[in-house]
Amino acid sequence: MASIFSRIISGEIPCYKVGEDEKNFAFLDINPVAPGHVLVVPKKEVDYLFDLDTDDYVSLQLFAAKVAKAIAKVMPCKRVGEAVIGLDVPHAHIHLIPINSEADMNFFKEKKQLSEAEMQHIADAIGAEL
């Protein structure tokens, strides 16, 4: 069975899409640690980020850098933090989170509740900078 992220990439499951290139796809995390929390995933379904072959890993990181720059243009923040966890969804992905302090990378914090309209607005605004 395809991973939930493969089903998002194929359009079977909706998401707040930020953008894509030939090999990679970006969308908002549905339970954001901070507004503008984006997941960047390879279209190829590989369980764990560090098991990607070199070309796909480099491609994903280069795409993540573009998305991070777009996030920084839209979301007020000092930096865009990058995290790899992968305990919940067995499809390689990178978390990109706008941050102002180390504490903003805390995944135990209560998740932000944003309206559908706010999520869509953020996804569109970041996507427009890509």
Q: How far is the CB of 35 from ligand AMP (least distance, A)?
A: 14
DSSP letter for each residue of 28-64: E-SS-SSTT-EEEEESS--S-GGGS-HHHHHHHHHHH
User: What's the chain's length in residues?
Assistant: 130
Binders of ligand AMP among residues 31 to 70 (CB under 6 A) are 31, 39
Alpha-carbon distance of 56 to 67, in angstroms, equals 16
- Give SS3 for 15: coil
- 88: contact with ligand AMP by CB under 6 A: yes
121 a catalytic residue: no
Q: Residues 91, 93, 95, 121: which is the catalytic one?
A: 93
Stretch that binds ligand AMP, among 72-80, 83-91, 97-105, 121-129 (CB under 6 A): 83-91
- Helices (DSSP H) in the chain: which residue ranges? 4-9, 54-74, 116-128
Q: Which is nearer to ligand AMP, 33 or 70 (CB)?
A: 33
In the complex, which residues of this chain contact ligand AMP (CB under 6 A)? Answer: 4, 15, 29-31, 39, 85-89
